[in-house]
Structure formats: C-alpha cells, structure tokens
Structure 1
Amino acid sequence: MSSPRKPLHLFEAYGVEMEYMIVKNDTLEILPITDKVIYDVAGKFDSDVELGDMAWSNELVLHVIELKTNGPARTLTGLIEKFQAQVNHINQLLQKYNARLLGSGAHPFMDPYREMCLWPHEHNQIYEAYNKIFDCRGHGWANLQSTHLNLPFANDEEFGKLHAAIRILMPIIPALSASSPVLDNQVSGFSDTRLEVYKSNQKQIPSIAGKVIPERVFSKAEYEQKIFKRIYADIAPYDEDEILRDQFLNSRGAIARFDRGAIEIRIIDIQECPQADIAVLSAVIETLKALVAERWVSVAEQQNWKEDDLAEILWKVVKDGQQAEINNPAYLKLCGYDKGDTCTAKELWQHLYDTILTASIPEESTRQALAFILQNDTLSARIVKALNGNPSPEKIKAVYEQLADCLKEGKQFLG
C-alpha cells in the first residue's frame, strides 16, 4: 500500500491484494505465463501494470498473478465489482493461451519440484536470492495463493493498537479463510494446508517467519530492535550482497511495513471469488475495529498476550478449521464470548457475526457471503465435502474445474 503525503489513520483506507493461479483450460495444470499476460497489456515485461484504481503485478513464481488496489482504497464498497472486472479482463486475455484463472490457496496437484518457474524479469535478483538460500521448489514457496490486507497507521500509538488487535484475531482468521485442503492429489488432513507448509518454508533461518504470530512489539523502535535487526543478522551469512535486507524479508503472518505506514496481514487463503474474499476481509476489519476500540478488553490486555499462546490456537484452527475447539476462556473473553469456557471456532465467529458484523458491514451482499461461509463452512471444508470420500485425480480435477467456473461467474462454491 503506497503512502500518500499525509499519513492515513486507523481504518481510513485499505490495500487489498489477491493472488490467482493461471492454469490450462483442459488439464488445469499450471501455466507459467504471467509475464506474457502483463506484456499483452503493457507492451513490456514490467512487474506492475496500473489500470486506473486497480493494478496487476507478478509474484515469485511465473504462474501466479496478483490483482490489487492501486494504492489505498477508502472503502471496501465497490471492490467486489472492481476485482471481478480484473478477473474477467485477464480471463479474456488468457483465452488465446487456452488458459484461465483459478482461485483457492494451493493448486491440488502441482508438482513444484518439477513445474516451478521463477519470475525471470524485473526484480528477478530478489527471487533468485530466495531460491539460492531456501530452494523455492517446495509447496511452501511455489504453490500458495493468498489475499493480503494492508491496514494503515499514522504513528507509534496507532501502530501499537493495531498490531495488538491483529495478533489477537490472527488465530481464528483461517476458520473463515482456509481454502487449501488438497496437495499432491491428496486430501492433506489440514483445513489450511497453505499455512501448514508456509510455517516451515524458511526453516534454515527460523527468525524470518518466527511463530507466524508476531512477537509482542508495539512501537517502531521495538520492532526494529526485536524483529528486523535479528532477521537481518540471521540472513547476512547467506545474503552477502544484501539483496534481501529489506522489510519484505519478514515473513510473519502479519508484517509491519513502516515504509508504507501499514501492517500487511498475510494469513488469509484466497477464496473462490472476490465476493467471498471481500466478505472475509470485512469480517476481519470490523472485528479489528471493535478490538482497537476496546469493546471487550483494553488494548493493554490485548498487548499482554504472548505469541506462543496465540499460536497454539492458530495451529488448532489450521488443522481443524471451524471445528477447532478453543478451550481457552481468557482468549474467548477477548472477543466478548460469554456463553461458556469453550467453543468451536465456528461458534466464536457466529458470536462475532451476531453481535457486531451484521450491524457493521453495510452491504447486504457481503453480509450474505459471510453468512454463507458460516453456514456452509470454509471453502476448504466444502472442497473436501465435494470430493465425497473419493479423492481420485479425476474427481479432484472436476471439483477444481467448478472452482474455476465460480471465479469466472463471481459466485461462491457450495460443492
């Protein structure tokens, strides 16, 4: 999210990024031609294409294209239509390549060791540096698609409040957003397989991703000292040219971008269509607003939570999705849940939906899309249900063809 001259305050604007796979129409195999798509529009192999208030850009791998707001958007209203229009535009361009876009957090049968192609053009030296150190052929690098939400802060005080609230909410976000149940043509057993493989993709240098939930740091100086300084020191022996010595090196599930005046939430699997993504983002934003406003507990109490305690809940949700049991009464109190000492992640989100989200999300279509997720479970669970105990390669391909149709038509997947 680019910073305008005047700093944006909390919740004054939103930067949204959605990553999609390019796949072949007939086989659904990945097709590494993002550079060709960008060339078709820009006339050169740029890493970014600006199209009014929207933009496209490359990612590390050549079969993924990112669609995003071109700078901060003042509201989420209208973004469903804007993102869907970009999807339609790219799908049109892809017709001559016999290809189309596909959503969801991971490709179900890509072989990253055989098929991974790095972006070869502008900024390639960054991707080559990552590949040299970490070998990007694994699923945790080459096969994961997410929706990123950038939220602004204007000063240290706002950063401290926002970072605290984001840390608190992160453990239960995958109960709405998980969409990656299949890897290597097999149901993985994880609701959010993308996050499960993501957490260990830089295991040679553990400090880069940390516990995925960020540490208890609530000022720029503290962040520089406890996070940036450490990861820069740890990467230094592997990165002699200092190509990766930048804020983007931080790979936690939410990262501070002080150069942009924003925190970027990276824990969200992309959904089947923009309508579903904006519904998830709306739920996240409105719940964060309530936390920042101290609706249930003080900011100080939120800041007191250690990353290990939050991560324990996160990995339960990554495994079991909406059915994950949250048996930590102190955590439930953070969200105002007072119906008992334990509940499922679904019950907790239903509580948030009933108490704040129905009133705070203005668009009825977005509320309905969110209600659809709560009623019918995560996209991950819906995919597994559609496979109906028969995850043969043919069945998996058929289900993901339906997902590609959902993206084209802008509708949610029931299964």
Structure 2
Amino acid sequence: MKKPYHLFDVYGIELEYMLVKNDSFKVAPQVDELLSSKAGELKADIENGDIAWSNELVAHVIELKTNGPTKNTDDLAEKFHANILEIDALLLPLNLQLLGSASHPLMHPDTDTELWKHSYSEVYALYNTIFNCKGHGWSNVQSTHINLPFYDDTEFEKLHAAIRIILPLLPGLCASSPILEGKITGFKDTRLEFYKTNQKEIPELTGMVIPERVFSKLDYYATIFEPIKKAIRPFDKDKILDQHFLNSRGAIARFDRSAIEIRLMDIQECPKADIAICALVIAVLKALVNKDFCSLEAQKRWTKEELFPIFNDAIKHAENSEIINLEYLELFGIKKVSTVNDVWKQLYLAVKPKLHKSHYEAIEFILEEGTLATRILKSIGNNTSEAHIISVYREMQNCLKTNTLFQP
C-alpha cells in the first residue's frame, strides 16, 4: 500500500489456510506442489485476478490475499471462496484439502513442521536458528490480517490510537483455536496465548503485543524500531532481517507501505465469516477515528499496561470475558461491567447502518452463537478422542467448501 491513500480509502485482507491430508488428517507440507500445479512452475507469489496466492514460513500454509489494495469488502467473501474452490480442485489429485480455523487440533509441531525451503528461505532459516520455529506459536497459527492505509502523521496518529483501543476485544470476536495436540487447552484463543511468548528470546520484537503509545513516525522509530534493531544485531550478522518484518506486535506500522497491519485475528471457518468480521472491525475503527464514541485524546491516553489485562482475559474466555474496567468501557459509551460479547453487540448496533447487508447474517450469528472456538468446544463436548475431533473438523472443512458458518 503506497501513498496517496487516505484513511479507509482502501483495504488489504490476508487469509491463511493449512493443507491437510484427506486420509490421515495430518498437516501436509506440500504448498510448493500446489503453487507449481497452478503456475506450471514453482512461484512463491501467484496473481489470480483480484486474489493473490503465496507461501508462508511453513510448508503447509498457503496465504490468500487481496491482489493489491481493494476499495471495499462487499464482494470479497465470494472472491476468496472462488479461490478456495479452485485450490481444493488442484489439491484433489494430491489427496489433500484446505482447513480453516487458527490451529490444527492434532498437529505435533516438533515432528510435523517443515519450513519453507524455497524463496526467502534464508530469512526463515535465520528465524528458526534464533527462535526454533517448530512450535505451535510458529507453525500452527493461521490468522486473518487487515491492512489499513494512512497518508501522513496526522492520519497515523488517529488510526494507531483507534486500533490500540480495539485490539483487546478481537479475541472475543475471532477466537478459533481451543484445542492443541488433542487436548482442550483452557484458552479459546490458544494461538494468541502462544503469540505472547513465542519470541521470548528477544522480547523487544513482540513487546506486550498491544503496541506502545506512539503516534508519529519519528516516535515509532525511536520507541519500537530502534530497540528492535539493537536487540537483533547480535543474531543477524549479515543484516538480512528487516525491522518491519521483525516487529511482531498485534498491530504493526508498515511505513514502507504507509499502512498498519492488524494481526490478532484468528482465521475462521469460511471467508463469509472472516470478511464480515473484517467489515465490522473496520466500521468500528472508522467510528473511533470519527470520534463517534470518544475523543482522540481519550483513545491516546491508554497505556499498553492498562490494555493488556483486558486482552489477556479475552484470550482465555473470548466473548465471555468480563470487562470490569469501567473507564475502558466508557470509551464506547458503556456504563456498566460488560462481557466482550456485550461490547461487540453494542458496537455492532452503532455501526450496522454503515455495513453492507451481506455481512449482517454472519456477524449476528457469531454474536448470538459465540466465537468459532466456543462452537467447536460445544461440538467436541467431553469426547476428545482423535476420531471425534477429526469428525468435527471435517465438518468445518465442509464449511470452507460451502462458505457457510459452522453450527454445533
């Protein structure tokens, strides 16, 4: 995303999916075969009309993204779904299929992980040397990213302030990773529980996940990028790692493309759910930037230390997390202790007139029936046998094919 885009002129959406084997349900490190099958030769990036395909850090994950900035989200679910159907057709001869949701419930990362070994592999290899990328926090973490543009420091200030305020609420809308290695983890958003610590060797990279109170490019470089550069220097002798790439906060400023990327959203069971959630989050951010709920000063006042406990509880309890910080709730005009779900219901009612009608059904279903994590747990019940877990996740694979939401 390059200038001259202003706030909310355009959007960039990225969706990550893993490949699994049809017979054993194990992860399949064969994205290179998929990309070769599509392009006739191995290409790490493939443009397919409005959607582009690319590889990720690990060999079993494919990323689908808007092919450049897009003006609206209204028809994106259909465009992503068409690409998913095309991919599944290409995977059929390989006896593979795509799987939605943020984490494979039975994957053992120590034995099942293969890093991407083609283009850009020297960067991935260095990451692996520093952090050991064969952990759930690296190889079992499919997410949805939203990229939003800003034109200058004034717009960056407004956008970063609004995004920081909304980050703690995201697990209550998007959590989809309640099971790892066949066990119910106790966290509805286990992906984010790992996200907090998977770069603990160099804590400057992730910080407290919620970004610092920085509202200009100069301040961002001084507060976030410079400590990252200093911390990585002993590990990156050949200087191949980029500060934008290294910054792992829950929202990262990409000054190289004048955008902020939100990274705390677990991917859902189908694009219809993902794009509806993206549309809702964008609409709420617009309302915050427009000061519909509170002033810019009120948004900027919040420190990462104050926002983190709200976020941390939502990682565990998702939509059922109770927010007792009345000052935080006041930012959205809410005057009493509320669950994260209550907050989202209020926000949805406030922005609903600005949303395309195609998103209503999915948003209302999630707000009534719960996050995908909650629905998965309801389906699993007390039966955590491998066979039962696979049968539930196979139902979810069907949701990806039909672009419908998962019902327990």
For the Cα contact (< 8 Å) 1:139–1:197, is it kept in 2?
Answer: yes
1:361 paired to 2:355: yes
Partner of 1:400: 393
Q: 2:169 aligns with which of 168, 172, 194?
A: 172
Partner of 2:75: 78
1:45 shift after superposition: 2.1
Partner of 2:114: 117
For the Cα contact (< 8 Å) 2:174–2:265, is it kept in 1?
Answer: yes
1:222 paired to 2:219: yes
**Aligned equivalents of 2:235, 2:120: Cα separation in 1:** 18
Partner of 1:29: 26
**Aligned equivalents of 1:246, 1:206: Cα separation in 2:** 14
Q: 2:14 aligns with which of 8, 13, 17?
A: 17
1:378 paired to 2:356: no
1:202 shift after superposition: 0.4
1:349 paired to 2:344: yes
Q: Which amino acid aligns with 1:396?
A: I
Cα deviation 1:298-320 (Å, max 9, x = unaligned): 11110110001111100110100
SS in 1 for 2:162: helix
Partner of 1:296: 293
The aligned runs of 1:28-67 (5 Å cut-off) are: 28-67=25-64
For the Cα contact (< 8 Å) 1:134–1:202, is it kept in 2?
Answer: yes
Q: Which amino acid aligns with 1:377?
A: G
Identity of aligned residues (%): 50
1:213 shift after superposition: 0.4
Q: Which amino acid aligns with 1:350?
A: K
**Aligned equivalents of 1:87, 1:246: Cα separation in 2:** 32
SS in 2 for 1:238: coil
Q: Which amino acid aligns with 1:300?
A: E
SS in 2 for 1:83: helix
1:139 paired to 2:117: no
Cα deviation 1:254-298 (Å, max 9, x = unaligned): 000000110000000000000000111011001000100011211
1:43 shift after superposition: 2.5
SS in 1 for 2:63: strand
SS in 1 for 2:348: helix
**Aligned equivalents of 2:273, 2:204: Cα separation in 1:** 33
Q: Which amino acid aligns with 1:345?
A: V
**Aligned equivalents of 1:89, 1:336: Cα separation in 2:** 45
For the Cα contact (< 8 Å) 2:228–2:243, is it kept in 1?
Answer: no
SS in 1 for 2:147: strand
Partner of 2:304: 307
* TM-score normalised according to structure 1 size: 0.97
Alignment RMSD (CA, Å): 0.8
1:77 shift after superposition: 1.2
Q: Which amino acid aligns with 2:373?
A: S
Partner of 1:233: 230
Structure 1 unaligned blocks of 5 or more: none
**Aligned equivalents of 2:35, 2:213: Cα separation in 1:** 40
SS in 2 for 1:67: strand
**Aligned equivalents of 2:370, 2:50: Cα separation in 1:** 33
**Aligned equivalents of 2:55, 2:270: Cα separation in 1:** 19
SS in 2 for 1:297: coil
Q: Which amino acid aligns with 1:386?
A: S
**Aligned equivalents of 1:86, 1:188: Cα separation in 2:** 32
Cα deviation 1:16-72 (Å, max 9, x = unaligned): 000000001122110011111111122232221011221000000000000000110
4+ residue segments displaced more than 4 Å: none
Deviates more, 1:158-167 or 1:47-56: 47-56
For the Cα contact (< 8 Å) 1:46–1:121, is it kept in 2?
Answer: no
Q: 1:319 aligns with which of 299, 302, 316?
A: 316
1:336 shift after superposition: 1.7
**Aligned equivalents of 1:100, 1:360: Cα separation in 2:** 36
**Aligned equivalents of 2:307, 2:280: Cα separation in 1:** 19
SS in 2 for 1:68: strand
Q: Which amino acid aligns with 2:168?
A: P
